[in-house]
Structure 1
């Protein structure tokens, strides 16, 4: 096996290393989120209080993507990726204290480190793909980005399952300790094997260059912000709490269901190149993104109407709607992930990608806070209504994305 790995081209070996790092990190990130939501719900925290635990996670994600893109261009993506892995180990270690000592400020601080770690890792992984694919090989770029993004989300789903299972089997502290130990091994392998100076810009970018000067990157970033706010406003806090409190599901059931959903979501993302092009060999453009955003808006609006009117039994409506939402959302996310890597400049690629994922993190922040507050005040149906509004904004913004052979 090792001999076959060494026989692969250098670009493929580096791609596999980047992907492996991203997978390992994502597994712990998904598990940690599920652990925190379910553990602190058991301790009696309200949905809004649980959402506040993730406040710094999302805020620092916004800041990290802005600064991280600049750091990646100056220091190299190998270093930013390894820093991200190391910070996640520190964040997990902070949660090894007994439950009585896990105060809200302490958990928020640990989540802040985890947010920095997650976005350094994601930005590094997505930017690295641009440097490893030959220029003008857009079809290959689309397939590699879709595979990385889809496999990452499948692992995130596995992380949800792992978090719920470990919480049931070994408790919160035991689960965190196991994940920290495994991630430490991954970090060591990454430090020893990931190529130095991957993605480092030829000219040292100034700090003022953290904001993108490309209008198409800015437009796509705005669409991404609304897209992820639309997902997280009902998925992050409202949905797992609804399943546990209103439908009576236990921890394992909640974790397993959300895990299967995210795994399926990842599989669809990986298949996006086939699903969006059909028999055509053309790579997607702004028109493709607009069509799929419109379809997702329609699906969510129908689900919202069903939940408010009670036409269908709530559990059946929710589970069916969630499957449809997940599939169409996965296509939208994969299209955006390809377009930003395609739009990003060749030198210092992480600058544009970091700015884009700053908008992504801002969308998650808005969605997470609204998920706790809107659910606590008005319930899951209201969360879905807000989601529909955000998706309508995604759809309208996407009209400004460039079409084939056009430039902005």
Structure 2
């Protein structure tokens, strides 16, 4: 604590925001894996499992839109702490006896968790804009990439944690343990996080909820397609496929997806070097188009491999590694662009609108993942993924480009 107090104020707040985000992300990843594996073990169909996350995604859409407004009015520390508290409540809802874990009850808990997750993420991403000196785009990109990459690495660890806790403690024991630990983090955050971070100088109006920036609107549409393309095969179809077709147990599914997301997060952290920072460049709309175009054919190639008689293990697992690396760069690049495009006064309004589109993409992908997999199988999910990535690339063509100059930082 003494060492923390000696750091510059903006560094100290960055570390506190990042620590909160890390703690939340561990429970979020673990809870998702717990729900998928536990209810698959109870005999739920892929579509039924997808429906358990319906409110999680729907309320994420609403939260991102309204959360940006709340962040600008109340301050980002308050919206972050509200998110942590709601996640504790959502976890406690799932500690009830198994007979009470009906679909409506679990959907209600997931609704709270969806609100919590997107309040927390919007607050963390918006805070970075305010903690980096104006004009230092290279430093901004580096800090956003580190926050995003470390978060996703920890989400992967959370996937493994969920599978491990399910095997060791059972469903109720696992969620109770996570609730207790997160409650301690929440209490520390209430004391340590700066009180006025991100509060707009003038109270925003409801009409300010929708972005008036063409660049942010285009980037938001591309983000919707990007995350729909990921979740259409990753959220429900892939874990169920690994469990039912490959015959993997909880440890294997949770462990593999954990390692995948850890690697994905590490690539995100190094995205600035991969997209030109070492040459004195930060990415623009042209970079967003090129990286989306590089990704769009990969899901279709995996689908062709699965239906061509090749080893499903090698095709799917190898394809997943390549998809994860390319998707990580796309996601990190988008995360930098939205923070860069957002205006500083009331930054959470622009970031919230953008992550509303992110949540819409997740909602679309989640629903399609359960329905399409149950009706047509994993290859169909992969073809839809490629189609959505094509849309993301085409939309990204309209994003602004800039001259290549040496950025500060």
TM-score by shorter chain over 0.5:
yes
Alignment of 1:319-338 (within 5 A): 319-338=317-336
Counterpart in the other structure of 1:45: 44
Shift of 1:306: 1.4
Q: 1:279 to 1:405 in 2, by over 3 A?
A: closer
1:5 Cα deviation after fit: 1.2
- Following TM superposition, by how much is the alpha carbon of 1:315 offset from its aligned partner in structure 2, in angstroms? 1.0
Contact 2:52 2:103 in 1 (8 A): yes
Whole-Å separation in 2 of the counterparts to 1:320 and 1:300? 11
1:300 Cα deviation after fit: 2.2
Deviation of 1:302 after TM superposition, in Å, equals 1.7
1:245 corresponds to which residue? 244
Match of 1:8 in 2: 7
Q: Cα deviations across residues 274-314 of structure 1 (Å, max 9, x unaligned)?
A: 1111641111100111110000012222222212323x201
Give, in angstroms, the shift of residue 207 of structure 1.
1.2
2:307 aligned with 1:308: yes
Match of 1:293 in 2: 292
Contact 2:218–2:398 under 8 Å retained in 1 = yes
What's the C-alpha RMSD, in Å, of the aligned pairs? Answer: 0.9
Superposed, 1:152-231 pairs within 5 Å as 152-231=151-230
Mapped to 1, the partners of 2:224 and 2:388 lie a distance apart of: 9
Instruction: Pick one of 315, 318, 339 that aligns with 2:316.
Output: 318
TM-score for the superposition, normalised by structure 1: 0.98
Match of 1:371 in 2: 369
Q: After superposition, where does 1:395-406 map in structure 2 within 5 Å? A: 395-405=393-403
- SS in structure 2 of the partner of residue 247 of structure 1: coil
Counterpart position of 2:347? 349
Aligned to 2:386: 388
Q: Which runs of 5+ in 2 are unaligned?
A: 405-409
- Residue 204 of structure 1 aligns to a residue whose secondary structure is coil
* Alignment partners' CA distance in 1, 2:277 and 2:401: 18
* Range with bigger deviation, 294-303 or 216-225: 294-303
- C-alpha separation between the residues in 1 aligned to 2:10 and 2:336? 19
Distance 1:279 1:79 in 2: 37
Shift of 1:405: 4.8
d(CA) in 2 for partners of 1:20 and 1:278? Answer: 26
Pair 1:30–1:60, CA change in 2 (3 A): same
Alignment partner, residue 27 of structure 1: 26
Partner of residue 143, structure 2: 144
Supply the distance in 1 between the matched residues of 2:200 and 2:369 (Cα, whole angstroms). Answer: 39
Query: Within 2, Cα distance between the matches of 1:181 and 1:207?
Result: 36
- TM-score relative to the length of structure 2: 0.98
Q: For residue 77 of structure 1, what is the aligned residue in structure 2? A: 76
Residue in 2 aligned with 1:60? 59
